[in-house]
Structure 1
Amino acid sequence: MSKILVTGATGNVGKHVVSELAEAGLDVHALVRDPSRAKLPEGVKAVRGDLTAPQTLEPALADVESVFLVWPGFAAETAAPVVEAIAKHARRVVYLSADVTELADGEEPTLFHQEVERLIRRSGIAWTFLRPVGFAANTLGWAEQIRQGVVRWPFGQASRALIHERDIAAVASHVLTSAGHNGAKYVLSGPGRLTQEEQVRIIGETVGREVRWEDLPRDVAREQLLAAWGDATFVEGALTGWESFVTSPEKVTDTVERLLGRPPLTFRQWAEDHAADFR
């Protein structure tokens, strides 16, 4: 039976990938920093390793055929040795990327995910890139404001096609366990668009609380996010992205339904699954 290594195995997406593969009876290993503390489904083996310390990966990659790769943050300095280690042992990798702009021939990457994709392509290993649009789980950042009844955030009319992490995991599991996906770049989205203000309303309805939206001016938002995130480039990129979705809504794709044979889960379903996080 082919061994599959899942990185990010306790994260929002990875934990669902692990569960789906385990339920299918597959030989799945979960890469974790501390196996003694990892809570994993029965039958899943925890193996020690850290993508920010590539030298720790060799034992975890022994006899592995496929890898589900999720990066912890944006530690670009370890990307090359990690990809090299994976390509040395595994036959294919499914990489959880982002909806990044395709690079032209000879064009240098400017984004982290573009760089990792380029490294994987050049490694010689078979690959599939999953490129989700906005994660529904990112709205968990509003939890405290929703408890207080008012969300103050920029660009309430930004229209997003947020995807449930369970759908990303279901696509990843499908790709890892079926043929015909080598070289594919799958852009994944939810079933439709909602503005950020509508997302807040739906979360409020789900938890039984009236929640108002107040648009935060860009300059004020920049100051607050810079204090919270500390990276001016990242903050500016986020603000520019949200602003762009006001006039050019995020794309909706049919990829989830095409691959899984069912519609993607709605944002309301996501909110119901996470209602306890907002109460």
Structure 2
Amino acid sequence: MKKIAVIGGTGMIGRPVVQALHDAGFEVTALVRDEAKARKLLPAGIRYCTGDLRNVHDVDRALKDQDGIYLNLNLNLGDGKHAWHAEREGIDNIIAAAHKNKIKRIAIISSVVMNYQGMNGFHWWVFDLKKEALDKIRTAGIPYTIFYPSTFMENFMITYRKGNRILLAGTSHHKMYFIAGKDYGRWVVRSFEILKNENKEYFVQGPEGYTADEAANVFISNYTGEKLTISRAPLAVLKFVGLFSNTVNYGHHIIEALNTYPEKFQAEETWNTLGRPAITLADYARAVS
């Protein structure tokens, strides 16, 4: 494995993965819609293929002469169930192009919290879509790696933080094993280095478990950039507003699942095979201050 194509490389977790692949000496090709924007976010030396995942010919160009693919596919928050989705129609285009170009491995990031589907009467079409995407990967006939992350530390700077506030919603009942994007990027690199023809599925969890409130307090205590405070919104309010907004409805379901899913530590094999995570939440907070 020397040449890796990345789809979704400019997102919150796509960026540290691209950086890690580049630093490890892989030749990285990123399929992007806006090359100028991507160049501001990704390291120098990346090869770009401008195109759209909706167009199988663009995907085909991006995968030409590549050894493997890494996928970080997100749903657009404002889209509904029947819209075009990267993890549904986009997966079909990727698999078709992967077969045509004789790709040796597909790696994809998914989610551990989607296992909350069916618990306590919870059901959401987004988690059905994610499960269907993985079924397509598993049955494509190409060696695959699936990563199931817990919650990324980067959310504190990109999702939870609004100005000088950390926004929480509802009550977090169980501990989440926060992982840094940089540690995860190292694991993606190592998987491409060591895996041959086998199929592997890895849980992605960090060294410490916290509820959302505990994690927010750890982050605030170690963040020195400015004084941060916690603000909280009732989950019922988000549920009501979500009746009129796909974006808020998406956020409500994700937060409900995160708050209620009884996450167990399951990353022993990941740590033993790909390496132990090195970054604590306190470390991350100090680093981004």
TM class by shorter chain equals 0.7 to 0.9
CA distance in 1, matches of 2:104, 2:192: 11
Size of the aligned set, in residue pairs, is 266
1:112 and 2:129 matched: yes
1:79 and 2:81 matched: no
Distance 1:212 1:41, change over 3 A: closer
CA distance in 2, matches of 1:198, 1:228: 30
Match of 1:192 in 2: 208
CA distance in 2, matches of 1:27, 1:217: 46
Match of 1:106 in 2: none
Residues 191-210 of structure 1 mapped to structure 2, 5 A cutoff: 191-208=207-224
Distance 1:38 1:224, change over 3 A: same
CA distance in 2, matches of 1:52, 1:273: 37
Alpha-carbon shift at residue 128 of structure 1 (Å): 0.9
Alpha-carbon shift at residue 204 of structure 1 (Å): 1.6
CA distance in 1, matches of 2:175, 2:268: 18
Q: Secondary structure at the match of 1:265?
A: coil
Runs (5+) with no aligned partner, structure 1: 104-108
Most deviating of 123-132 and 212-221: 212-221
Cα-to-partner distance string for 1:78-131 (whole Å, 9 max, x where unaligned): 32222222232112111111124499xxxxx95222111111122111111111
Distance 1:101 1:2, change over 3 A: same
Aligned partner letter, 1:13: I
**Are the counterparts in 2 of residues 163 and 188 from structure 1 also a CA contact under 8 Å?**
yes
Match of 1:141 in 2: 159
Match of 2:31 in 1: 31
Distance 1:228 1:138, change over 3 A: farther
Residues 47-62 of structure 1 mapped to structure 2, 5 A cutoff: 47-62=49-64
Identical counterparts, % of pairs: 23
CA distance in 1, matches of 2:94, 2:176: 32
Normalized against structure 2, the TM-score is what?
A: 0.79
Question: Which of 167, 179, 195 matches 1:179?
Answer: 195
Normalized against structure 1, the TM-score is what?
A: 0.81
CA distance in 1, matches of 2:227, 2:257: 28
**Are the counterparts in 2 of residues 189 and 253 from structure 1 also a CA contact under 8 Å?**
yes
CA distance in 1, matches of 2:57, 2:248: 28
Match of 2:279 in 1: 265
Match of 2:12 in 1: 12
Residues 154-233 of structure 1 mapped to structure 2, 5 A cutoff: 154-180=170-196, 182-208=198-224, 211-213=228-230, 215-224=232-241, 229-230=246-247, 232=249
